[in-house]
Amino acid sequence: MSDALINGLAGAGGGIIAQLITYPLQTVNTRQQTERDPKKTRRKVGALEQMCQVVKQEGWERLYGGLTPSLVGTAASQGVYYYFYQIFRSRAEVTALDRWRKGVGDGSVGMLSSLVVAALAGCVNVLLTNPIWVVVTRMQVQEVYDEAGVWGFWKGVFPTLIMVSNPSIQFMLYETLLKKLKGRRTTSKKGNDGVTALEIFLLGAVAKLGATVVTYPVLVVKARLQAKQVTGGDKMLHYKGTLDAIMKMINHEGFSGFYKGMSTKIVQSVFAAAILFMVKEELVKGARMLVTRNASLIKVARSKPP
């Protein structure tokens, strides 16, 4: 089993677990992002209060509405992302070592290279999995098709491609912090560069926090485009494209419209990312141990005389 496949499967597993734990917050956040109330007639409510309202008015099951397609989307997205990330990362590491042998650099992948690797993996991921996420947001395949045809499944792909910067920044911060932590451990008296599950959890949380704060406005635009478009009535509720959505949001809601539900998203995404990183790394460690053990057993079996 290749290292890329191990990371892909581990990423899918970690993503599913993180999604199951944080899905109610994600449901509330999607509602906050797609809510359009330019006259501000409704009283603002927090995430917890909104969750209680959903349970009271619509039942517990609404907090998990669309969970199945979302789990499929998460598994596919994280699996594809980590698979290609590991492929691009391995090539970047080989290039860094070659440069080091030639007297350039220290042999490790730098911040810029980490950013490029994450961006490339993110672009591949978006192009392959965007149709799944459109369906997750809408939960009705037929509605998407009836409204905009086949191309409707790629609605919001432009801001989604821009959102590649989110995991790119996240992984750049994560790899940089991890490298510094391991370096500090290596230079200590113990000389051990191992990282605990709790440390992975915290590093993942910090990295996701930084990425979310920077890219949140683009995420709101993407959610608006992928949500069901309002036909008839007020034209401000219908978006023709990314630029049209941005201009209408500025004109009718002000810049605050780009930050709707940000506090909820920070809690949900930071917690989910921390869980994902921790679970994924533990699954990778376990898988590598199994592969190594099986390889050793096969080697021993072959070395025995018949």
Q: Alpha carbon of 166 to those of 14, 71, 209, 244, 257: distances in Å?
A: 18, 20, 10, 22, 19
pLDDT at 106: 82
pLDDT value at position 155? 57
Within the chain, which residues score under 70 in pLDDT? 1, 33-46, 134-163, 188-193, 226-237, 300-306
CA–chain centroid gap for 278, Å, is 14
Given this structure, which CATH class describes domain 3-301?
mainly alpha
3-state secondary structure of 98: helix
pLDDT of residue 215: 85
pLDDT computed for residue 114 by the predictor: 87
Query: What is the C-alpha separation between 78 and 2, in angstroms, rounded?
Result: 17
pLDDT for 304: 63
pLDDT averaged over the chain?
79
Q: Is 288 exposed, middle or buried (0-12, 13-18, 19+ CB in 10 A)?
A: middle
pLDDT given for residue 89 in this prediction: 92
Predicted TM-score (pTM) of the model is 0.68
Q: Pick the closest to residue 271 from 216, 211, 213, 206 (CA basis).
A: 206
